[in-house]
A and B are shown apart, each in its own frame.
Chain A
Amino acid sequence: MSATLSSSLAAALPSWVPSGWAVLDFPATKWAILILLLVMPLASLLTWAERRQSAMMQDRLGPNRANIGPIKLKGILHFVADALKMIFKEDFVPANVHKGLFALAPVLALAPVLIAFCIIPFGPTIYPHSFTQILDTTELANNPASPLFADSIRLQIFRADWGLIFYFAVLTLANYGGTIAGWASYNKWALLGGLRSSSQMMSYEVAMGLSLMTPFLIVGSLEPGFIVEHGASDTMSPANPLNWLWAGGTGWLLVPGLVALILFFTAAIAETKRAPFDIPEGEPEIIGYFVEYSGIRWGMFFLAEFIEIVFISGVIASVFFGGWQVPFLDADGFRFSSLSAQLGFVPLAHGAVVGLQILMFGIKVVILCWFQLMIRWTLPRFRADQLMNLGWKLLLPLSLANIMVTALLKLIIMK
């Protein structure tokens, strides 16, 4: 019965829709799973975590009362309450706004961030047929066509050599969301916010892109998946637990690597438009480009901001901290031989390895999100001119110098 149903279904569907195991390797499936299981829950939790964490930093309690009956969960349910409130609030559109652009702007702010997630490798390649066994890595290296490795699922939606360029291209579109919102709102403060947003984006994108040149020079690829796997391949024997940044063979490259990390992190926070770089919003003065928005349209800007935090954490985790790599964990088990001779090799089933690695990626992303929230609640806002000074006079020259240093070091080390 079910066989006939599925076969008739398969016949009814167009030919490009995959069936069988290939459904799981289909980009839309992977995207839906990633967004629904990792990104959206994490972004929603961040709206609560930000308030609770800032409260803890300031010796307050923070939101802790939203409840369903007796279930309080330390206030986690606040994000459910917030979402319900925003969905059912009046969708107020002021007179004189440009109706089309006004409606388009929140979508333009939210959609690019969700699209950009395609480049993030959130786990290793899964071989479903050897899920319960220890992965035969020699067989995989010599005979990848073996039936054991058929129907592989790569836990990265979009793989291209220009992956990080794609990220820049797409996230720049997100900035149009803010600028168009400011323009369409028929409000001077919103327009100011939109202008500030685009000027900030313009000055920080440069330093951001240039700081990513360092990993590119060292690893030789702009593909986040490759950068992550680079940690485990040739130079990254299990002796190098994290990835290229900490790679023992390229010890001196750690210095420009760390500088690149700090530069990228700074520019990335500016890109999320959060304190200390929140002048496009500038809540005490102009309220920013979404001043005329209410209800779920405002919620989309709000959510986009938090999804951007998760995305930035994913990029930093992948490029600088080895993404889904677990220290000492190879595809077939733990190798502690570099640590101590007695421990040696601990074999692990493929399913367990994949689970650990996806969990590791989640942990890295959560820690980086936590760090971004810490920064947001520690530093006061920059003035617009300080922001420009920092971007053009400090970050840009530093990132250029960093590229030169990296290239020189690489020349010396590689002879």
Chain B
Amino acid sequence: MSAAHHEDDQVQDGPKVLAETTSAAGKKIRTLQVVRPSPKDASFLEAGAKGFGVTLKHFARNFFLPLRKAAARAKAGAPADESLKSSIETVQYPEEKVTYPERFRGLHRLMLRDDGAVRCVACMCCPTVCPAHCITIIPAETNDKGIEKKPAVFEIDELRCVVCGLCVEACPCDAIRMDTGEHAKPTEERADGIETLEMMLARGIRSIAKQGGEGANWREKSRDTPDAK
């Protein structure tokens, strides 16, 4: 046993100081003992064998598990054996999928009115609030005097989107939602990462929220109501 091996297996940094004196010239003199690993440690045999045991155990378990499972299946009616549970946690993605958390947002979708038109009124709230500047809206006029605008272009760059959901919070008319739970698809071109109006409408459904306010003659209506000033 060398000095490196104390009973409590302490790790020692640097050489051990055996004695410390002062010379006649006033210089400090230290007697040091250099700590070297014991031959047992230097040969790495014991630690190597121990490590080999660990890896062998894992290998044997994962290697023979299919056989043990088949044997258990052949023995019908046997109680569920906890030791037959695979220790491999890998999810083989396209075939298997993990269940996402309930509040996972996913891709955007645009909601529809009763007549099937887009609910969005191009109010520009969502591109304004978007921290990633990933929403592009070019408004167009409508013939409907109650809802003056509609989006001619509504594009979201999913490669820039940080999925924060602020656009949904900002939307005054329940036109945009992030509740599909779908991932942005991997694409070969950057341009393919941009979701267009049609793509997001295809995912949309009719919203039951009331839209359009009071209609074109809202001024008259509000004048009629007694408590309006």
| Interface 9-mer from B58-66, B107-115, B131-139 | B58-66
Given contacts A59-B87, A59-B88, contact A378 B44 (CB under 8 A): no
CB-CB < 8 A to B43: which residues of A?
Answer: 390, 394
Alpha-carbon gap, A58 to B63, bound state (A): 12
Q: Which residues of A contact B56 (CB under 8 A)?
A: 374
Verify if B55 is at the interface (C-beta below 8 Å from A): yes
Closest to A394 in B: B43
Specify which chain B residues have a CB less than 8 angstroms from the CB of A59 in the assembled complex: 58, 62, 87-89
Task: Return the contact of B59 from the options A56, A375, A390, A393 (Cβ within 8 A).
Answer: A56
Q: On chain A, which size bracket covers the interface?
A: 10 to 19
Contact with A along B46-59 (1 / 0, CB 8 A): 00100110111011
Q: Which of B54, B87, B90 has the most CB of A within 10 A?
A: B90
Q: Once bound together, how far apart are the Cα atoms of A393 and B39, in whole Å?
A: 10
Interface size class of B (residues with CB under 8 A): 10 to 19
A379 contacts B by Cβ under 8 Å: yes
B54 / chain A contacts, CB cutoff of 8 Å: 378
Is A44 at the interface (CB under 8 A from chain B)?
no
**A408–B46 Cα gap in the complex (Å)?**
28
Query: Counting CB contacts under 8 A, is A233 at the interface?
Result: no
Contact A379 B58 (CB under 8 A): no
Please pick, from B48, B58, B92, the residue contacting A58 in the complex, using a CB distance under 8 A: B58
Decide if A57 is an interface residue (CB 8 Å cutoff). yes
| B42 contacts A378, C-beta separation under 8 Å | no
- Within 174-230 of A, Cβ neighbours of B (below 8 Å) are at none
* Complexed CA–CA distance, A57 and B39 (Å): 29
Q: B residues 16-30 with Cβ under 8 Å of A?
A: none
Once the chains are docked, how many angstroms separate the CA of A57 from the CA of B89? Answer: 13
Contact A56 B58 (CB under 8 A): yes
| Contact bitstring B74-93, A, C-beta under 8 A = 1, else 0 | 00000000000001111010
A58, A61, A375, A389: the one within 8 Å of B52 (CB): A375
Closest 6 CB pairs of A and B: A56-B62, A378-B55, A61-B90, A57-B55, A57-B59, A59-B87
